[in-house]
Amino acid sequence: MLSSVFVDRPRLAIVIAVVTTIAGALALLSIPIAQYPDIVPPQVSVTAVYPGASGAIVDANGCSIDQIAPCSGPASGGTWKNHGQYISAVAQATEAFLAQGLISADQADEIVAQAAESNCGAASR
C-alpha cells in the first residue's frame, strides 16, 4: 500500500531520497570528533634470547661463540671432521671477539683451553 504512493508519484520518491541524502551528509559533518573511537596504532614488541652467552658477550651480528662454533657441528651444518677443526673454529671466533673488544685476552685463552678439554669433534668410540 505504501509502495503504491511512490509508484504513482516518482518525483516524490526522488525528493525524499535527495532530502534523506542531504540530511545524512549534514549529520555526518556535524558529528563531533569525540564520538569517534581513539585510534591507537598497533605496537609490536620483539625480544630475543641468545642461549650460551650473556648479553655482554655477543658480537655485532648477535651471535655468541657457542652459536658460531657449536659442539654439535659447524654452524653451516654437518659435523666436525675432528677435534682440531672444532678447536680451530673456537679459536677463530674468540680472536674475532677479542678484536672487537668483547672479551679480554685471558678470557679468550680460557675459552680456547676449555674447548681443547672438551670432547667436541672427537671421534666417538
The per-residue DSSP string of 74-101 comes to: -TTSS--SSHHHHHHHHHHHHHHHHHTT
Q: What value does the mean pLDDT of the chain take?
A: 81
pLDDT of residue 62: 67
Host domain of residue 75: 65-117
pLDDT of residue 23: 95
Reported confidence tier of residue 101, pLDDT bands at 50, 70, 90 = confident
pLDDT of residue 35: 62
| Least confident residue range of 38-47, 81-90, 112-121 | 38-47
Residue 58 counted as domain residue: no
pLDDT of residue 55: 46
Residue 21 counted as domain residue: no
Kindly report the pTM of this predicted structure: 0.51
Residue 90 counted as domain residue: yes
* Residue 120 near residue 86, CB atoms below 8 Å: yes
Domain count of the chain? 1
Residue 69 counted as domain residue: yes
Q: How far is CA 3 from CA 8, 11, 12, in A?
A: 9, 13, 12
Name the nearest CA neighbour of 102 among 71, 72, 75, 68. 68
Residue 50 counted as domain residue: no
